Every structure is written in structure tokens, then in C-alpha cells.
């Protein structure tokens, strides 16, 4: 079984970093070529400006850019050694005023009552993004880990059965090669079984069929062994997006 690696939380949901926490210009070119992003392109620090819950052990800073805690790193290194590069990033919280504990307590109580209210009031959301709260706060439950890391997924494999998997064609190419990418219908993806020596976490290498080239490297895929270990250690932090399953 294979899962799409997709942490549940990302910047702007239950936490928000400041605007200085950005990648250096040009990093997307490495991603486009299915190459690891050099460490110099990652920010050296992330500053939490808002937070309404403990910082997760697995999250996105933006889509496709993943951060893991020291606790999560231990699992990757045990089960998938050498398949992930860990790039240290310092995470610290912004300074807060004396009102912060009271604001946090007030909004925390409202968070508890919001799912109940949503059952009785039409249009009432059962969850409010931290960036939508009128007053900024950093919860006293932030509970930062001892260390955090951006990750480069180094594992590469070619397990996608492209002729059985829905794909979308890119626009016209100068070299006249027809190129295709994955659709987001992950439940229709088809992959072959893992053979010995293939990684547990990987990006797909490009596959060529005559004049057609198939590219699925924009997704990070995780084999069942590693996904279940992460999900067991960090429940509800990963979306259960199992390839080939509705």
C-alpha cells in the first residue's frame, strides 16, 4: 500500500509564521527538475506569530515544503535511512504582551464551543483559522520540540503504472515531446509493488513511452510501513490519502 505524503496542517491553519519565513528565489527550479533543493535556499529560522494549538511534528510551511520535528526525524532515520535529507531550521515564537494568556484562554473556550454551535446554527463554521481570529495570540500550549528540520526527499523510484493511471497533458513543448502529469484523483493512481531496495519515501522518476513522457515527481509518496509508523506516533497529523483507494 502507498500513501500520498500530506501533513494535515500548514501555515495559516493552527499556526502562522511571519512573512520573513520564505524560500530564496530560484528554489522551484530544482523542484521542477526533480532535484533536491540546496540547503542554502531554505530559511534558517521560522518565527511563530500566531498559534492556537501545539505545533505539529509534521507540517507544511507551504504546499510541498515539509518540516518535521526531532521526534519525527528519529522515525525516518530508523525506517528509511538515507532517503531524507534533514535541513535544520530554528523555530521560535514572537514576543507577546501581557494580554496574550487572557486572549488565548478566551479563544480556546470559543474553540471548544464552536463545533457544538455549528450543529445548531446554519453557516456557523466548526473551525476558525488562526489567521482569521480578530486578535493575535500564541497559545501557551505551543510546546515546541527540541529541533525542527526542513526535509529534502532523496528517494527516487519508478512505481507508477502510468498507462493505468489518469494523467493530464501539459501544454505544447518546444522539443515536441508530449508530457503528462498526475491528476489529483489519487484513489485512481496505480502503482506496482515495492521491490527489495526501493525507498519507503520517494518522488517518482520520469517515465518515457516513445514520444510521451510522464512526470509525477511533484508528489511525495510513502510506503505503508513508514506511513503507519508516522501515523501511530503522530495521530491525526497526516491525511490518509491512500493511492488506489477511494
| DSSP line for 125-183 | -S---GGGSSS--B-TT----S-EEEEEE--EE--B-GGGS-EEE-S--TT--EEEEE-
Please check whether residues 18 and 111 belong to one and the same domain.
no
Q: Tell me which residue range forms the domain holding 117.
A: 100-132
Please check whether residues 144 and 173 belong to one and the same domain.
yes
- Are the C-beta atoms of 79 and 229 separated by less than 8 Å? yes
Residues 6+ apart with CB under 8 A from 105: none
Domain membership of residue 246 (yes or no) is no
The helix or strand, by DSSP H or E, that contains position 219, with its residue range, turns out to be none
Question: How many folded domains does the chain comprise?
Answer: 2
Each residue's pLDDT expressed in tens, for the chain with a length of 246 residues: 899 999 999 999 999 999 877 899 999 999 888 899 999 999 999 999 999 999 999 999 987 899 999 999 999 999 999 999 999 999 999 999 999 999 999 999 988 887 776 677 776 777 889 999 999 999 999 999 999 999 999 999 999 999 999 999 988 888 888 999 999 888 999 999 998 889 999 999 999 999 999 999 999 999 999 999 999 999 999 999 999 865
pLDDT at 245: 64
Which among 110, 132, 154 is the end of a domain?
A: 132
Domain membership of residue 79 (yes or no) is yes
Please check whether residues 72 and 155 belong to one and the same domain.
yes
Q: Burial code of 125-140, b = ≥16 C-beta within 10 A, e = fewer?
A: eeeeebeebeebbbbe
Report DSSP state, residue 14.
Answer: S
Question: Three-class SS of residue 73?
Answer: helix
Please check whether residues 13 and 115 belong to one and the same domain.
no
Please check whether residues 88 and 119 belong to one and the same domain.
no
Please check whether residues 106 and 196 belong to one and the same domain.
no
Domain membership of residue 59 (yes or no) is yes
| C-alpha of 208 from chain center | 28
Please check whether residues 161 and 82 belong to one and the same domain.
yes
pTM score = 0.92
Report DSSP state, residue 195.
Answer: P
Of 192, 205, 116, 195, residue with least CA distance to 156: 205
Amino acid at each position: 500500500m502507498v500513501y500520498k505524503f500530506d501533513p494535515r496542517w500548514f501555515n495559516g491553519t493552527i499556526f502562522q509564521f511571519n512573512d520573513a519565513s520564505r524560500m530564496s528565489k530560484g528554489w522551484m527550479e530544482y523542484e521542477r527538475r526533480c532535484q533536491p533543493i540546496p540547503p542554502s535556499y531554505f530559511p534558517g529560522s521560522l518565527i511563530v506569530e500566531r498559534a492556537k494549538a501545539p505545533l505539529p511534528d509534521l507540517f507544511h510551511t507551504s504546499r510541498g515544503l515539509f518540516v518535521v520535528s526531532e521526534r519525527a526525524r528519529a522515525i525516518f532515520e530508523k525506517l528509511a535511512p538515507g532517503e531524507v535529507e534533514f535541513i535544520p531550521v530554528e523555530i521560535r515564537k514572537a514576543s507577546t504582551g501581557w494580554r496574550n494568556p487572557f486572549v488565548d484562554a478566551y479563544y480556546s473556550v470559543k474553540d471548544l464551543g464552536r463545533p457544538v454551535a455549528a450543529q445548531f446554527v446554519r453557516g456557523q463554521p466548526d473551525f476558525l483559522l488562526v489567521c482569521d481570529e480578530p486578535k493575535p495570540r500564541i497559545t501557551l500550549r505551543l510546546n515546541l520540540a527540541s529541533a525542527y528540520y526542513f526535509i529534502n526527499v532523496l528517494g527516487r523510484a519508478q512505481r507508477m503504472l502510468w498507462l493505468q493511471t489518469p494523467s493530464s497533458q501539459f501544454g505544447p513543448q518546444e522539443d515536441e515531446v508530449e508530457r503528462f502529469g498526475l491528476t489529483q484523483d489519487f484513489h485512481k493512481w496505480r502503482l506496482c509493488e515495492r521491490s527489495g531496495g526501493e525507498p519507503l519515501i520517494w518522488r517518482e522518476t520520469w517515465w518515457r513511452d516513445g514520444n510521451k513522457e510522464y512526470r509525477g515527481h511533484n508528489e511525495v509518496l510513502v510506503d505503508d510501513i513508514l506511513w503507519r509508523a508516522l501515523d501511530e506516533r503522530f495521530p491525526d497529523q497526516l491525511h490518509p490519502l491512500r493511492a488506489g483507494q477511494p
